[in-house]
Structure 1
Amino acid sequence: MAEHTPGTFAERLYPSTSFFLAVLLLIPALTVLFTPYSLQAGIIAGVVAYALVCAIFILTSRKVEVQDGVFNAGGVKIDVKHLGEIEVLDSQQLRVAIGRRLDARAYLCVSGWVHSGVRVTITDPDDNTPYWVVTSRKPKHLAAAIREAQGASTNAA
Structure 2
Amino acid sequence: MTSYRERLWPSAWMYGVIALVIPATLLVFSPIDLIVGGIVAIVLAAGSVVLLLTSAPEIVVGDGMLRAGRASIPVALTGEAIVARGDDARHEKGPGGDARAWLMLRGWVEPVVRIAVLDPDDPAPYWLLSTRRPEDFVAALRAERAAATT
| Equivalent residue, structure 1, for 2:30 | 35
| Equivalent residue, structure 2, for 1:100 | 95
Could you tell me the TM-score, scaled by structure 1's length? Answer: 0.87
| Equivalent residue, structure 1, for 2:10 | 15
2:123 maps to 1:122: no
Identify which range, 90-99 or 131-140, moves more after superposition: 90-99
Instruction: Give the C-alpha shift of residue 126 in structure 1.
Output: 2.9
2:79 maps to 1:84: yes
| Equivalent residue, structure 1, for 2:52 | 57
The structure 2 residue matched to 1:75, chosen from 70, 73, 86, is 70
Matched-pair contact (CA < 8 Å) for 1:26–1:46: yes
| Equivalent residue, structure 2, for 1:149 | 144
2:71 maps to 1:109: no
Instruction: Give the C-alpha shift of residue 102 in structure 1.
Output: 1.3
2:41 maps to 1:46: yes
Could you tell me the TM-score, scaled by structure 2's length? Answer: 0.90
- Partner Cα separation in structure 2 for residue 46 and residue 129 of structure 1: 41
Structure 1: 5+ residue runs without aligned partners? Answer: none
Matched-pair contact (CA < 8 Å) for 1:117–1:138: no
Structure 2: 5+ residue runs without aligned partners? Answer: none
Query: What SS is found at the alignment partner of 1:132?
Result: strand
Pairwise CA RMSD: 1.6
Query: What SS is found at the alignment partner of 1:71?
Result: strand
Instruction: Give the C-alpha shift of residue 55 in structure 1.
Output: 1.3
- Partner Cα separation in structure 2 for residue 31 and residue 103 of structure 1: 43
Query: What SS is found at the alignment partner of 2:9?
Result: coil
Identity %: 35
Deviations 1:57-91 (A, max 9, x none): 22222221112110011211111111111101113
Matched-pair contact (CA < 8 Å) for 1:118–1:134: yes
Instruction: Give the C-alpha shift of residue 26 in structure 1.
Output: 1.2
Q: Number of paired residues?
A: 150
| Equivalent residue, structure 1, for 2:130 | 135
Deviations 1:21-68 (A, max 9, x none): 121011122123222233222221111110111111222222211121
